[in-house]
Amino acid sequence: MKASAFVYPWDVNGDPHAAARVADLGVAQVTLAAAYHSTRALTPRHPRHRVVTAEYAAVLYPPDAARWKDRAPRPYEAGDWAPGDAWGEAAAALADAGLEVHTWVVLAHSSRLGAEQPHTSVVNAYGDRYPWAPCIAQPATRAYLTDLAAEAAVRPGSRGTELESLGWYGLAHLHAHDKIAGVALGDAGQYLMSLCFCPACGDGYGDHGLDPDELAAAVRAALEPVWRGTAPSDGGWAGVGALLGETTADATRVWRDDRARTLQEAAVAAVRAAAPDGFQVLMHADPVSHHCGANAGVDPAHILSVVDGVAVPCTGGAGLLSPFAEQARPGTVLAANLTVVSGMGGSPRTLATDAARARDLGATELRLYHAGLASDADLEAVRAGLGVE
């Protein structure tokens, strides 16, 4: 199967050997970050640094000033961790090494946006804002994400894109020094804590027969026994219905699914309008539409009618591929995303076995997370797993 490795521009720029090292893994492609959230990243082989701190979500290229003039929200330019056209510089080096370069675009995930423009954030039933999670129901945010998708995806030299966080973000977040695991929230609790109660969502609930104030009160009442530890909050969608009531739960999902689907359609259409013929559009996705996060929850049949394929989290098991495989058409890309960094829970030494299992469940390609973060030993295991001698 064709394999692609995820890479950051700072993994490559300033390291004359980085591009060849990635090519030597046996991958045909790289998925190179063009718009990315804040992070602290290890660079274990770079000649100039060992840790890169990307302080806020930013584009890793110069944004089009005319496109964003007088607009809010608008993308932030990166600081010294990715100066100038960092994406373009890295892409050129990787292409010179014989690799096909695709963009990696993180969309509805920006803590700086939420801090500076708090009205853009998801607001839970208790009134707490999630600054990392832009509300995708708000018209200005939807317009921003659609234009950002087109600009960041279609960089000069890119042959395709992978769109991450193109949907609802909620409570779950890999945040610095997280301390939110004191009460175990299952799938149902996560959903209730991820419902948004900003004015746009309040209007949306009203259009579906729900009073937003009454809904927020119902969510708080449903969660009270969860906080006390006297009621479970798992059970998938049935668990949400058990806590909130099936009719109310279903109405919230109709609103949220519509906002996610229509945003995904608009963003992909904008990318295709900006891209040359043959440009591949993939999305990082979860086959359960009420799920939130980087792998946005989707309906498999719908999303595979919009994009060319999906990248699906498969570390620890490839079961999430099956619902997409059932809806796949000839030429659909189903990319199994496997973590190959041992220190981050990956299993590079079982790559060949994991890839074979994913193939059996419908995978057509592999995504390897993450070439820049992995140790030399992990990269050697990747080479062996991909059959490089």
Q: Percent of the chain beyond pLDDT 70?
A: 100
Q: Percent of the chain beyond pLDDT 90?
A: 96
In angstroms, the CA 117 to CA 24 distance is 44
How does residue 177 score in pLDDT terms, banded at 50, 70 and 90? confident
Among 380, 312, 314, smallest CA distance to 349 is for 380
How does residue 256 score in pLDDT terms, banded at 50, 70 and 90? very high
Quote the pLDDT of residue 176: 73
Q: What is the mean pLDDT of the chain?
A: 97
State mean pLDDT over 224-237.
94
In angstroms, the CA 107 to CA 136 distance is 10
Distances (CA, A) of 78 to 44, 109, 131, 158, 351: 22, 15, 19, 20, 34
In angstroms, the CA 172 to CA 133 distance is 10
Would you give the DSSP letter of residue 77? B
Among 227, 223, 164, smallest CA distance to 194 is for 223
**Would the pLDDT of 389 be above 90?**
no
Quote the pLDDT of residue 180: 80
Quote the pLDDT of residue 184: 86
Q: Give residue 15's region: left, alpha or beta (phi > 0; psi -120 to 50).
A: beta
Residue in this structure with the two tokens 């998925």, named with its chain if needed: 31
State mean pLDDT over 270-294.
98
How does residue 329 score in pLDDT terms, banded at 50, 70 and 90? very high
Encode pLDDT of 101-152 as tens digits: 999 999 999 999 999 999 999 999 999 999 999 999 999 999 999 999 999 9
In angstroms, the CA 8 to CA 87 distance is 8
**Would the pLDDT of 44 be above 80?**
yes
Instruction: For 252-316, give the DSSP string.
Output: HHHHHHHHHHHHHHHHHHHHHHHSPTT-EEEEEEESSTT--SSSEE--HHHHTTTSSEEEEE-TT
In angstroms, the CA 146 to CA 138 distance is 12
State mean pLDDT over 46-61.
98
CA dihedral 313, 316, 318, 323 (to 10 degrees): -70
Quote the pLDDT of residue 131: 96
The rounded Cα 41 to chain-centroid distance in angstroms is: 17
- Report the SS3 class of residue 368: strand
CATH number of the domain located at residue range(s) 2-179+257-385 in this protein: 3.20.20.80
**Would the pLDDT of 31 be above 80?**
yes
Quote the pLDDT of residue 40: 95
State mean pLDDT over 75-84.
98
SS3 content of the chain, % helix, strand, coil (to 5): 40, 20, 40
Encode pLDDT of 182-192 as tens digits: 888 999 999 99
Please say whether the beta carbons of 356 and 366 come within 8 A.
Answer: no
State mean pLDDT over 317-326.
98
Quote the pLDDT of residue 178: 81
Name the β-bridge partners of 106: 164
Q: What are residue 280's phi and psi, to 5 degrees?
A: -90, 135
In angstroms, the CA 349 to CA 358 distance is 15
Quote the pLDDT of residue 243: 96
Quote the pLDDT of residue 362: 98
Encode pLDDT of 345-388 as tens digits: 999 999 999 999 999 999 999 999 999 999 999 999 999 999 99
In angstroms, the CA 95 to CA 50 distance is 24
**Would the pLDDT of 278 be above 80?**
yes
Distances (CA, A) of 337 to 53, 84, 128, 292, 377: 24, 30, 33, 17, 20
Among 107, 87, 97, smallest CA distance to 158 is for 87
Q: Could you tell me the residue ranges of all domains in the chain?
A: 2-179+257-385
